[in-house]
Structure 1
Amino acid sequence: MLNSTPLIGEARTKLEEYLLTKGLRRSSERFAILEEVYSRNDHFDAEELYQAMKERSFAVSRATVYNTLEVLVDCGLVSRHQFGDEDNTKSRFEKSLGRQQHAHLICVNCHRVMEFCDPRLQLIKTTVGHTLQFHVESHSLVFYGECADEACVARTKAAAATINVN
């Protein structure tokens, strides 16, 4: 697997330190999963990660993927999100090391996830924390709506319906 990000070395070190501290095994499978996560630039669920590992012909069990994701979340290398997809229990993940805090836009039709950063979010976080005397460690902001992507499922269905009506 290619180390496509300069952060992978730092992520490997952080994972190794975490595993040593917790007395957990430092298996090649865990590090391969970490590398797969850090080669991605999207939001993914555990099943998508498992399928990507299989496509790379890396023999790893589904349970190992799920368990390793929990470890990666616990040690701060991966962030977990609940975006309220059609299955509200489905967790989506993204790498977190070296990433600035950001917010998300979710298309209610095709479920595409888009990210954006706005410095005003940091200002709001700081102001609210100060005003309410609360130490804010992180935040999550998600906007739901319809994307403008021509390939969006809703647009494709609407176009097909228009063609069928005519």
Structure 2
Amino acid sequence: MQDSHSLLATARAKLEESLLAKGLRRSSERFAILEEVYSRNDHFDAEDLYQAMQQKSYPVSRATVYNTLEVLVDCGLVRRHQFGDEDNTKSRYEKSLGRQQHAHLVCVVCHRVKEFCDPRLHLIETNVGNSLQFHVKSHSLVFYGQCTNDDCETKPVEEPKVD
């Protein structure tokens, strides 16, 4: 696995190549957003990313964040997920380079996302592809439920039992 510095260098090179191929500007804002994405290890939405850029006093507009995320998804540097949030339109993102295939657990109460890897998933993917004569390029598996973390942000408070 690549270290974070070489991973970012690879991502920067891939973004530059994609921008050149599409005739898009190679702005410092786009590369700063890429750097912020690759410094994270979570699933975030565009607003999270925008707020992180603001907290670092990096002057970037919301539109630039949204547009850059689209560019990063198009060139394969970021994955977009729809985890069935309450408005079902909110996309969440994660970096994609240097990541192994994984599945997700989504808490329907606090909306936290946890990742897990299980080698049996790859075996299932391979077996299904072989049996159905289908070349599987990737898969997405999401389990929805309630986490058991005590710090679940919006976990309902249990009412005391009345005898």
Q: Report the CA distance between 1:134 and its aligned residue.
A: 0.9
1:148-163 map, 5 Å: 148-155=148-155, 157-159=156-158, 161-162=159-160
Question: Alpha-carbon deviation of 1:148?
Answer: 1.2
Residue ranges of structure 2 left out of the alignment (5+ in a row): none
Gaps of 5+ in 1: none
Q: CA RMSD in A?
A: 1.7
1:102 maps to 2:76: no
Distance 1:72 1:158 in 2: 40
Identity of aligned residues (%): 75
* 2-structure distance, mates of 1:117, 1:154: 27
- The separation in 2 between residues aligned to 1:82 and 1:63, in whole angstroms, is 20
Using structure 2 for the length normalisation, give the TM-score.
Answer: 0.93
TM-score w.r.t. length of structure 1:
0.91
Which structure has the highest helix share of the two?
1
Supply the distance in 2 between the matched residues of 1:121 and 1:57 (Cα, whole angstroms): 42
**What pairs with 1:11-160 in structure 2 (closer than 5 Å)?**
11-155=11-155, 157-159=156-158
Q: CA deviation at 1:154?
A: 4.9
C-alpha distance in structure 1 between counterparts of 2:152 and 2:113, whole Å: 12
Give the Cα–Cα distance (whole angstroms) in 1 for the partners of residues 33 and 160 of structure 2: 44
Paired AA for residue 150 in structure 2: E
After the TM superposition, list the runs of 4 or more consecutive aligned residues in structure 1 that deviate by more than 4 angstroms.
Answer: none
